[in-house]
Every structure is written in structure tokens, then in C-alpha cells.
Copies of this chain bind each other. A is one copy, B any other.
Amino acid sequence: MLKLTKKADYGLIALKYLAEHPEKTAVSAKDVADAYGIPAQLLAKILQQLTKSGLLKSHAGMNGGYALARDPGKISTFEVILAIDGPFFITSCTKGAKDCELSHNCTIKEPLARVNDTIAGVLKSISISDLTDHESAEGHAGDIAKIGLVSLSTHVVEAK
């Protein structure tokens, strides 16, 4: 029901942690897992996925671990979710495939695709550093979200 997976949640937590500790050259999966009570082996696999996707750099062996591959401001939450959960679509039937046999008469998948793009855009606009900013996030994302909410809320009232 439209919620992102716990894996993605964990991944975002880990990335935020890395962004908040730039002094450490490498952080082990176990460190992060212990810090937040996340199952260590699970988090390890998640970080491996993020490494394969190029969002993290890894270093095996003692004192090894993971580090951000890029500036945290240049890693969007969209990329993270994409790397962990794979391509996501709000429609249960991906229009590109033969997934659903109703697709030819389904009249709502087109407008919903636009909603999908909107959500993707929001996610793309939020970087890891936006998550890191303490207090109410004041990055671009915060502003955009606010704009979106304000301009929407007027219509919401109307719709209510």
C-alpha cells in the first residue's frame, strides 16, 4: 500500500549516517547496524547493493567498510530506492510490459503514470544531505515540498 520497503529505509539510514560522519574514512556495516539496531547481515547486503550501484565505495579487510562514492548532496533518495527496490511504479501494472492483460482497456494507467512521475520527481529532488540537515530540512527539497503542499492544500480544501 504505497510504502517503501524497510530495506530502502535501512539504506537511507546508513547513507545518512555516512554523510554525518565524514571524518571516518570507512564505516563497517556492523557499526551502522549496531548503532541503529538493524540486523547486521541484512544491512550488509543492502550496502553491497548500493556499492554495486555505484553509490558507495567499499573496502574489505580490517578497518575496512563503506564510504560515500559521491558528495551526499549529489545522491538523491530516488537513486537509493531505485538501487535497493528496483524500478518502482505506482501502477501495479507496468505499462511497458505485458504485465496486465487489462492494459488495453485500463483507462487510468495513463493519468497514474503522471502521478508516478511527480512522486519520482519529489524523490529525485531530495538528497542525502537534505536528510542530514537537522531541524526541519531546509534544502531545496524542503522548499519544494512546502510549495507543493501549500499550493495543493488550497485545492484540497476545495475538494473537501
Contact = CB atoms under 8 A, between A and B. Distances in A.
B151 A4 contact: no
Interface residues of A, number: 68
A79 to B, nearest CB: 9
A13 interface: yes
B118 A122 contact: yes
Interface of A: 1-6, 8-9, 12-13, 16, 35-38, 73-77, 81, 85-86, 88-93, 101-102, 105-108, 111-112, 114-115, 117-119, 121-127, 130-131, 136-137, 140-142, 144-145, 147-149, 151-153, 155-156, 159-160
Given A3-B90, A9-B112, A36-B105, 16 more contacts: A1-B86, A1-B88, A2-B3, A9-B108, A13-B107, A36-B102, A111-B130, A117-B145, A121-B149, A122-B148, A124-B152, A124-B155, A141-B155, A144-B152, A144-B155, A148-B148
